[in-house]
Amino acid sequence: MPPTSPTNPTTPLLAIHDVGKDYTATVLDGVNLALFAGEVLALTGENGAGKSTLSKILCGLEQPTRGGMVLDGQTYTPGSRRDAERHGVRMVMQELGLVPTLTVAENLLMGRLPHRLGWLQRDALHAAARAQLAKIGLDTIDPATPVAQLGIGQQQMVEIARNLQDDTRILVLDEPTAMLTPRETNYLFEQIAHLTARGVAIVYVSHRLEELRRIADRVAVLRDGRLVDVRPMAGMSEDDLVQRMVGRVVSDLEHRPRRAAGPVVMSAEGLGRGTAVQDVSLALRAGEIFGIAGLVGSGRTELVRLLFGADRADRGSVTLYPEPANTERQASPAMGCTIPRGFASPLQAIAAGVGLVTEDRKSQGLLLSQPIRINATLSDLSAVSRGGWLQRGLENRLVQGFVRKLGIRCRSAEQPVGQLSGGNQQKVVFARWLHREGRVLLLDEPTRGVDVGARAELYGELDRMASEGRALLMVSSDLHELMAMADRIGVMSAGSLVAVFERGEWSEQSLLAAAFSEPGGRAADPTSSLPSSSSATA
């Protein structure tokens, strides 16, 4: 039963009739869906199932090829985002729409800035902004702060606050918590409860099933552009949800047995940059996954960037250890090569066998207008050439293998990457590193936006890489994922590595407590038992 609306309990606020969308292929077909005032409707499905396309049609960013919509009894054909907003239909997209150089207040009230005799009324502006921020528990943010100075989680919250207007009737949230801390997520959920009590309908798009179960009244599942199920959330388990999404049982988070760690491959000693990363020391061992937990803004991503040479450290060093002559997996006292302040550039890191997968697809250098084939093999042409000649057959076989293994949803390997859904683009980024010979792979939120079925495939690939003796470092906001996959978990807080737990030592609570702790509290020495190193300039 849909929840009752304050105005009318049975008539939908929005009715979607037989909506279809064709690009070069059909990506939505025959979608019929009713949205009721005051409900949270979860929209879920595998990567490429059509969730974003349907959301964009609701919000005027795309127009349907077939079918139509009725909003409150009136035909609804929004031709643009502005048009949809005039009808009270708003969307918080994954890509933030804020202007970084403007202040929080200016972003919040853009287009509605209070003026008097041509002068901007700053006091009125800040008062209005404060009221809007308070709605979402952001009372501590100064409305005069330029958005660029906020952390990414806070920016996401400002984006959400911007869309919480009094005239909002339908709010579409696309993966809204991807960047949020647990505390910010709670504020958001409280705000959603206020909105639904006022009769606002929420469409909530997410791959985070536990969130969907927590917040949604009903769930709609898309598969291959078709709506395969709409039902009340009450009584649905996560397994039920997964089975409806992918049509099979997926056990993505089985806990791995502890891996046998080999010698140290790479270490950091007192690595730091400004206050973002403060003197971090750690050692990555062949055959193990070292997890990094921490809140948004704790320095996790910055640490990975220093290890990869994407930013240059201003203190400390990185040491690389040669592969031991014997293949036995035991800590070897080999001499390492120490690089003061770490790699000078990503090219240097890649040449040394260090790779990076991040969830930030923009910085991955995906060539959006180029086919999947080119993007997947670009990072290592030697894998698809012989004697300096590109071997088309070899390339095709390799790429077909990735597409099959990772379930990349595409027409063919020749489809431009820019036409893929977000999660499928992420799989292409990952595919790049599957065939590369490398000793260390750094992963920053590698499964963000990736659906549950594909995530299981990625976990299998990480297992394989570890068993082949690669050292993996994996940053993740998903503690369950880290606890299932990692052999050790380091926790960052305020730029410092404040604790390192061995498998079997941690609990969700202890990891969270460390993430919220002040640096200088509990600390472990993660470099104990490091082999010796000699200083050298790379």
Ligand X SMILES: Nc1ncnc2c1ncn2[C@@H]1O[C@H](COP(=O)(O)OP(=O)(O)OP(=O)(O)O)[C@@H](O)[C@H]1O
Nearer to ligand X, 377 or 419 (CB): 419
- CA 444/CA 433 separation, integer angstroms: 13
| Residues pairing with 475 in the sheet | 292, 444
- At residue 316, the 3 state secondary structure works out as strand
- Identify the residue among 53, 185, 278, 496 touching ligand X (CB under 6 A): 53
Minimum Å gap between C-beta 219 and ligand X is: 14
Q: Is 259 in the site for ligand X (CB under 6 A)?
A: no
Half-sphere exposure of 512 (CA within 13 A, CB side): 9
Helix and strand numbers (H, E) in the chain are 16, 25
- Identify the residue among 47, 132, 267, 281 touching ligand X (CB under 6 A): 47
- Identify the residue among 48, 64, 176, 446 touching ligand X (CB under 6 A): 48
Tell the residue number behind the tokens 């431009």, with chain if given: 416
Nearer to ligand X, 7 or 63 (CB): 63
- Identify the residue among 23, 412, 414, 535 touching ligand X (CB under 6 A): 23
- CA 169/CA 190 separation, integer angstroms: 17
Total residues at interface with ligand X (CB under 6 A): 20
Q: Is 44 in the site for ligand X (CB under 6 A)?
A: no
Please list every residue from 390 through 449 that binds ligand X, using CB under 6 A: 409, 419-424, 449
Q: Is 50 in the site for ligand X (CB under 6 A)?
A: yes
Q: Is 45 in the site for ligand X (CB under 6 A)?
A: yes
Nearer to ligand X, 81 or 315 (CB): 81
Q: Is 177:188 a contact under the CB 8 Å cutoff?
A: yes
H-helix or E-strand spanning residue 71: strand 66-71
Residue 88 DSSP symbol: T
Helices (H), 288-385: 300-308, 346-351, 372-377
Q: Is 245 in the site for ligand X (CB under 6 A)?
A: no
Of 48-56, 110-118, 492-500, 506-514, the segment contacting ligand X by CB under 6 A is: 48-56
Of 45-53, 95-103, 327-335, 498-506, the segment contacting ligand X by CB under 6 A is: 45-53
Minimum Å gap between C-beta 419 and ligand X is: 4
- CA 76/CA 61 separation, integer angstroms: 13
Nearer to ligand X, 412 or 535 (CB): 412
Nearer to ligand X, 96 or 102 (CB): 96
Which amino acid makes up residue 195?
A: L
Tell the residue number behind the tokens 């999660």, with chain if given: 423
How is residue 518 written in tokens?
């002040």
Q: Is 206 in the site for ligand X (CB under 6 A)?
A: no
Count other Cβ atoms within 10 Å, centred on residue 10.
Answer: 9
Nearer to ligand X, 52 or 278 (CB): 52
Residues that bind ligand X (CB under 6 A): 23-24, 27, 45, 47-53, 409, 419-424, 449, 451
